[in-house]
Amino acid sequence: MNTLAESAVTALRLITSFDPVLLDIVRLSLAVSACACLLACAGGLVLGAWLGVARFPGRGAVLTLLNTMLALPSVVVGLLVYLLLSRSGPLGFLGWLFSFKAMVVAQAILVLPVVTALTRQVVEDAERSHGEQLRSLGAGTFMRGLLLTWDERFALLTILIAAFGRAVSEVGAVMVVGGNIEGYTRVMTTAIALETSKGDLPLAVALGIILLAVVLLLNTLITLVRRWRERRDAGMAGWLRMPDLTA
Amino acid sequence: MKRSASILSLDPELPMAPQAMAAGPALFSLHDVDLHYGPVRALRGIGLAIHAGERVALVGSNGSGKSTLLRVLHGLLAPTSGTASCLPRNRQALVFQRPHMLRTSVQNNVALGLWLRGMKWRASRQAALAALARVDMAELAGRNAKALSGGQQQRVALAQAWAMDADALLLDEPTANLDPHAKREVEALMQEFAQPRAGRTMTMVFSSHNLGQVKRLASRVVYLERGRILADLPVDSFFNGPLPEEASLFVKGEKI
């Protein structure tokens, strides 16, 4: 109890004094997860939207596989990326192992099924509810996917925030492919694991507090976006105008 | 728009009339159409011809197949068997019972239908504004369509259908779930839209539970029961002439 209290006090001192080591770790952690989410969203939103509206033989099997990938253990993803990027692996020539890029790739692979599966669910629900009306207006499969994704943009924003939360709080994949090198690939979660094993609890606690704060902030953002959407749906369109689609 | 075929003769006992009398080729022609949702037979042996200028009301209990029949006419559902020869979808417009408004302005919602049919976006928005003026909603063009009341959303859907300059207007219980005032407004617009436009006759097919509305708007009534057409008569004959027992009970309000 005494150790916990002392660690917490020291941790708060580290945070309030903007300790440079702490800040570097936090900055790197947020940058890796942000880049990974951007990558995962680029693919996941398009793939999820398409899966939400398209009907093809074997779709059920694809969805089962996708849902299974939601439970991908992060260390397994780390191992897979490690094997791909190691010197003897097929992508070894890139020289990305134990680098920022390797961590981004690993987290992107981890988050891609989350973005894809949740986007698919949101778009499919929308398709079931009003896809028929869009078909009646003349929208084909691809156009319906685009329109429904755009119409559900606030729900999808929530998914993106949740995906960032998943990325920033995982430890296994970045540990395996990043190597937890100080000042280079050390992120919040790997630093917490290392500092705890070394017995340097104040830094671990400080990082833990910041990580929790980040997750709390993300959840607050999700709530705010939801409320904002409800308020917008009951109010004026204003800035919600469609982009100029003039061909 | 033709769908696959095996033509059987219609039951000669059924009270039928107007399609034989109407002039010119039918805009919609169904022969012995069956449609199954898995084990459920939603439509059975439907034979129906609708000609230009007709105002056809589809009536019947819940689950009788009215909405399914409208979707077949609009080309959203293909018959399991039988032949459906219908006006191309880009020459007709369907107004849904609960139209969905996209999360954008009223004007953009109306313009979207035109844009999807090939009109430039800017021109679509201008045409949308004119259509909104037609339903007396031009002042709400910039409003978020999601924030409108049910009656206003139905009027936006009618404006969208109007903007498409279609030859046939299909409406699936357009006044269900509306308050009496909104019902009257929507009904007045339906009446207006059914009038000839720029020398072209407008054909209207709508489903309804409201028999008063059917009397006011329809020229012909098709009564459906468990996916079958049991009566197909001019509106006067439907309300004043002899009917099969089920249809008669429905008209008397003893069958919902």
Nearest chain A residue to B99, by CA: A133
Interface of A with B (CB under 8 A): 129-130, 132-139, 143, 147, 150-151, 153-154, 232-238, 240-242, 244-247
Cα A142 to Cα B101: distance, rounded to the nearest angstrom: 19
Residue B178 near residue B148 (C-beta atoms within 8 A): no
Which residues in chain B touch residue A136, judged by CB atoms under 8 angstroms apart?
74, 76, 89, 93-94, 96
Tokens of A16: 């309030």
Please tell me the pTM assigned to this model.
Answer: 0.82
- How many angstroms separate the CA of residue B12 from the nearest CA in chain A? 35
Residue A184 pLDDT: 92
Cα B64 to Cα A70: distance, rounded to the nearest angstrom: 43
Give me the percent of chain A exceeding a pLDDT of 70. 94
DSSP character at residue B98: S
> Which of B113, B121, B144 lies nearest to residue A235, judging by beta carbons?
B144
> Which of A132, A151, A245 lies nearest to residue B115, judging by beta carbons?
A245
Cα A144 to Cα A127: distance, rounded to the nearest angstrom: 8
**Cα distances (angstroms) measured from residue B77 to each of A139, B43, B152, B157:** 15, 11, 28, 21
Cα B233 to Cα B241: distance, rounded to the nearest angstrom: 9
Distance between alpha carbon B209 and the CA centroid of its chain, in Å?
13
Nearest chain B residue to A134, by CA: B113
Tokens of A63: 């969805």
Q: What share of chain B is helix, strand, coil (3-state, %, to 5)?
A: 35, 25, 35
Per-residue pLDDT tens over the stretch A73-123? 999 999 999 999 999 999 999 999 999 999 999 999 999 999 999 999 999
- How many angstroms separate the CA of residue A33 from the nearest CA in chain B? 30
Q: What average pLDDT score do residues A215-228 get?
A: 86
Q: What share of chain A is helix, strand, coil (3-state, %, to 5)?
A: 80, 0, 20
- How many angstroms separate the CA of residue A145 from the nearest CA in chain B? 13
Per-residue pLDDT tens over the stretch A50-74? 999 999 999 999 999 999 999 999 9
Torsion of CA A193, A195, A198, A200, to 10 degrees: -140
According to DSSP, the residues that pair with B29 across neighbouring strands are B49, B85
- How many angstroms separate the CA of residue B104 from the nearest CA in chain A? 6
Digitized pLDDT (tens) for each residue of chain B, 256 residues in all: 544 433 333 344 555 544 444 556 899 999 999 999 999 999 999 999 999 999 999 999 999 999 999 999 999 999 999 999 999 999 999 999 999 999 999 999 999 999 999 999 999 999 999 999 999 999 999 999 999 998 999 999 999 999 998 999 999 999 987 888 889 999 999 988 888 877 788 999 999 999 999 999 999 999 999 999 999 999 999 999 888 888 888 888 876 6
Contact A240 B117 (CB under 8 A): no
DSSP, collapsed to helix, strand or coil, labels residue B93 as strand
Residue A50 pLDDT: 96
- A179 pLDDT band, cuts 50/70/90, is very high
Contact A233 B146 (CB under 8 A): yes
Cα B174 to Cα B70: distance, rounded to the nearest angstrom: 12
| Cα end-to-end span (Å), chain B | 34
Contact A135 B112 (CB under 8 A): no
ipTM: 0.86
Residue B214 pLDDT: 95
Residue B107 near residue B128 (C-beta atoms within 8 A): yes
